[in-house]
Amino acid sequence: MNKHIALITLAAAGLLASGAQAVPIVNSFGLAAPATTITFSELNFPAGTLITNQFAAFGVTSSGHTYNSQGFSAFPGISGDYIGVSSTIPFVLSFGQVVTSAAFGYAKNPTTVFVEALLGNSVVESFSQAVTFNNPNTAFLGFSGISFDAIRVTANSPEGLVDNVQIGSVNAVPEPATLGLLALAMTAAGLAGRSRKRA
């Protein structure tokens, strides 16, 4: 009986996770139709200001070792105001909610970066990508098709630019049929526990 309950529970959990096909985003434009784009021109700061939670109302915070500067537009993915990565400590963009797609403009001295999607501080997907300041084909990095609440970028050189943070759809509520299967699995588990107590 316990085996059957375990199988039902695993099947329901699998249905909750099904349909999640992670797609790394590496292109010249980011998301095809972002719901929100944060350009870092929404608020004005003096050059050199550390940016942490100042843009939280717009849906994004950063890990705090970055600075804001104005009027730069020489590289693909970067336009107008931007934030600059000033350390080799991993750069983290956190979103105000769980999302299923997000991307950002990224320019850096030629190197390979390691990009991770995080959910509750756990890595759910990752990829490595060679980047440079002038390559439009790698101007935007991100993820689509999975649930995550942050993106972490690790590189071995400190200088980098981040701009045009795009947020797509938020994490969808499971369909009623999926919720029904999960409820059925939980009910079966409860009944099994009850029958074990009687025995």
pLDDT score, position 171: 63
Rounded CA separation 90/64 (Å) = 10
Rounded CA separation 138/159 (Å):
16
Residue 155 lies in a domain: yes
Is 86 a member of any domain? yes
Confidence of residue 172 (pLDDT cuts 50, 70, 90): low
Provide the β-strand partners of residue 27: 140
Residue 182, in any domain of the structure = no
> What would the pLDDT profile of 19-33 be if each residue is shown by its tens digit?
457 899 999 999 999
3-state secondary structure of 94: strand
Contacts of 89 (CB under 8 A, 6+ apart): 63, 65
Q: Print the domain residue range for 153.
A: 20-173
Is residue 93 in a domain?
Answer: yes
CATH number of domain containing 116: 2.60.120
Tell me the residue type at 15: L
Domain total in the chain: 1
Return phi, psi of residue 150, to 5°: -160, 155
- Of 136, 95, 137, 91, nearest in space to 114 by CA: 91
Going by pLDDT thresholds of 50, 70 and 90, the confidence category of residue 68 is: confident
Structure tokens at 83: 């934030």
